[in-house]
Amino acid sequence: MKPRSEIRTIAFVGNYLPRLCGIATFTTDICTSVATQFPKVQCFAVPVNDIEGGYSYPHEVRFEIEEQNLASYRRAADFLGISDVDVLCVQHEYGIYGGPAGGHILALLREVDLPIVTTLHTVLREPNSDQKRVMQELIQLSTRVVVMSHKAEEFLKDVYKAPAAKIDMIPHGIPETSFVDSAFYKDLFGVEGKQVLLTFGLLSPNKGIENVLNALPKIVAERPDVVYIILGATHPQLLREVGESYRLSLELLAEKNGVKKNVIFYNRFVELAELKEFIGAADIYITPYLNEAQIVSGTLAYCFGAGKAVISTPYWHAQELLADNRGVLVPFNDPDALAREVVGLLTDDARRNALRKNAYRMGREMVWGNVACSYMQAFEKARNERAGLTRKLFTVKTLDKQLTGLPEMKLDHLYRMTDSTGLFQHAIAAVPNFHTGYCTDDNARALILTVLLEELGMDSPRLLDAATTYAAFVQYAFDPKLKRFRNLMGFNRSWTDEAISEDCCGRALAALGTCVGRSKNPGFQVLAGQIFAQGLSSATGFSSPRAWALALLGAHEYLRRLNGDRQVRQVRDALIDLLMGLHNRTATPEWPWFEDSVTYLNAGLSHALILNGRETSRADVFEMGLKTLRWLTKIQTAEGSYFRPIGSNGFYKRGGERANFDQQPIEAQSMVSACLEAYRCTSDNYWFSQARRAFDWFLGRNDLGLFLYDPNTGGCRDGLHLDRANQNQGGESTLAFLVSLAEMQRMHNELASFKNPPPS
């Protein structure tokens, strides 16, 4: 079973295939592997171009950076800022970014407001001043840093003073390969019956291939069946500067040493499938690098993990990986030692196979699937740590500030989201999203809002036009044959094929009942009255407790004006019994709730019992409403005494841990409504303070200290994630704030009319 992640979008910055370099291969592999292991997570890449016009990238590349153009890095930061990214994963190598010691990347990282996980492909023991400055700031800007060897971790702490708690050790990823005999692949390259030595990677003078060619005469003298395959294109930068002169020098050296027939050059960059075949054909893999300052080698990791016998010079990564009889180390620039070890392994099958087996065993930890899961753990830690820091700063700086007064009622975004058909469901930022169309749920909420605003004395022609549109939408949604309401409508005004939503039916009944009971508009009263009783008749057949509660709210409002309707009273009483029965079957002293989970629209259940318990003079119903609401306020109050609604990313199951995110505006609104009603019924100031606490969640008194309400647009952001607010301002969220504001304003007006100021 694959692990689940709360992260939705990850951006990877670094070189990317088809650019030819090790970082490009790594970035492509980690991006692809994370996307494969976590299919619900969107992964995209932001590569760096070293040539004009860039490369022919695949579809997952979304934005390109010009290596030497500082402004390009800042533009990339702007792009990431509008791309709803949860985590930024940066591949760092000094040579791939512009500026002194690749410092241009810092301009991007300074400007993004994201958790940053940086993978360090080079960690120098003796950096120059620019390299040290860049690395130290990179560590500071990164939420977490990933290294691929213990030596790199040691350098980070000793040389750069990186906090140990910030470092994750994750090995270089490798493709999954089978442990097979090399003879299986040799015929693919015409070397069947030969002993094959292999070196692969982009060719450049620092690879030390000359030392292998100088060792070959002694190797061939002992084992004339040896062939040495040199696989890889010349490094693009070297190719641009001096052409193929380096490769030519290697060919001349092989000819000079009399081993030309024993050397095969493959002058090309091969795709992974073919590379695995080359590696499979090798009996010994050789990495003859010229100095120890190589903290990680992808080519070594690939061959080691494939179970190849490896001979290497003792650069840092090789020392670590080949320890404990997992490979052989030879001194730098020592062809004689190379020859001795190659011949020794080729003549000692038992030792060679032992090395292979030990390497292959350890390599199973390094396959990309496992590495991707380790990276996801690092991403989750980074997101949690950054969010924790944000919350800590909020607690220190914000919680001691008392919020007073109420914002003005601003309907700009509501009107922006409304056309001649109805209210749009969703928005992209503050722009209506036509693709997702309309829903009855939101149009019913909007209709309730217009009645509340009418009571507050807002009766502009524009508001009346909008109210008429919402009422018409709800009326059109009613199916008289089913006596239920359709919910989702496309932009083309066609209902989508979907199962009837009971909660939508309950919401529509709440809106219609509110129109009958509280609207001063006769037309709305007539329209709502014609279909309310029909729709309510099916409510006792609902299985959703929230649909029962919403229908009860509608019945209460309806009966405010038409209390003599016996049929509605009977349905109301039946719904009360359903809700009470559910509670009595489920609740315990430790868990006084209606269900085994606290999920969404929670306070609405208590609200329905408070209203209808008082109206029917049923003390047991009324007290049950207050009791469950009090418990709900306790579990939704954070340590800093601010409102923390149950998160929708997992909810709160009996006996489990509550989800703290994603927090939804509808939860704050339902709490405001329920607590204000409890205050009306009891005059207990506790309930008014709880309503104000829930309302202040919209205004920054929350886990992140962020405004959900946008005073510039009049809209409300769609939720509070672990580390940021959702910037989209959809219909449900905007209405949740506006309804909460209208109800708070109504209560303030009621208190003022009795010359009684709102409780503090």
DSSP 3-state assignment of 83?
coil
- Give the containing element (helix H, strand E) for 65: strand 65-66
Q: Which residues are CB-contacts of 61 (< 8 A; sequence separation ≥ 6)?
A: 16, 44, 45, 46, 47
In the prediction, which pLDDT does 2 show?
44
Spell out where 420-571 has E strands: 427-428, 431-432, 438-439, 478-479, 484-485, 488-489
Q: Among 18, 33, 20, 22, which Cα is nearest to 297's?
A: 22
Distances, alpha carbon 380 to alpha carbons 88, 144, 173, 475, 644, in Å: 11, 10, 19, 46, 21
DSSP class of residue 234 equals B
Q: What is the pLDDT of residue 760?
A: 54
What pLDDT does 404 receive? Answer: 54
User: Cis peptide before 225, with omega less than 30 degrees from 0?
Assistant: no
Place of tokens 């905007």: 734
N- to C-terminal Cα separation, the chain = 52
- Do the domains at 9-173+370-384 and 183-365 have one common CATH topology? yes
Q: Which residue has 């960059």 as its token pair?
A: 269
What pLDDT is attached to residue 339? 96
Classified as helix, coil or strand, 180 is coil
What distances in angstroms separate CA 700 from CA 174, 215, 405, one per listed residue? Answer: 46, 70, 14
Q: Determine the pLDDT at residue 568.
A: 94
Return the closest-CA partner of residue 228 out of 247, 248, 206, 213.
Answer: 213
Strand 438-439 relative to strand 488-489, pairing: antiparallel
**CA within 13 Å, CB half, 678:** 32
Residue 167: name the closest of 189, 187, 206, 139 by CA. Answer: 139
Strand partners, 312: 287, 329
Of the candidates 700, 665, 680, 663, the one whose C-alpha atom is nearest the C-alpha of residue 744 is 680
Q: Which residues of the chain have pLDDT under 50?
A: 1-3, 394-403
d(CA 562, CA 648) in angstroms, rounded, equals 38
- State pLDDT tens for residues 648-690: 989 999 999 999 998 999 999 999 999 999 999 999 999 999 9
Q: DSSP assignment of 691-721, as one string?
A: HHHHHHTTBT-STT--BSEETTTTEE-SEE-
Q: Domain spans of the chain?
A: 9-173+370-384, 183-365
Residue 285 CA to chain centroid, in angstroms?
40
Residue 271: burial class (beta carbons within 10 Å; 0-12, 13-18, 19+): exposed
pTM over 0.85: no
**For 183-365, which CATH class?**
alpha beta
Give dist(CA 326, CA 583) in Å, integer. 63
How far is it between the farthest Cα atoms of the chain? 110
pLDDT at 400: 38
What is 9-173+370-384's CATH number, 3.40.630.10, 3.50.30.40, 3.40.50.620, 3.40.50.2000? Answer: 3.40.50.2000
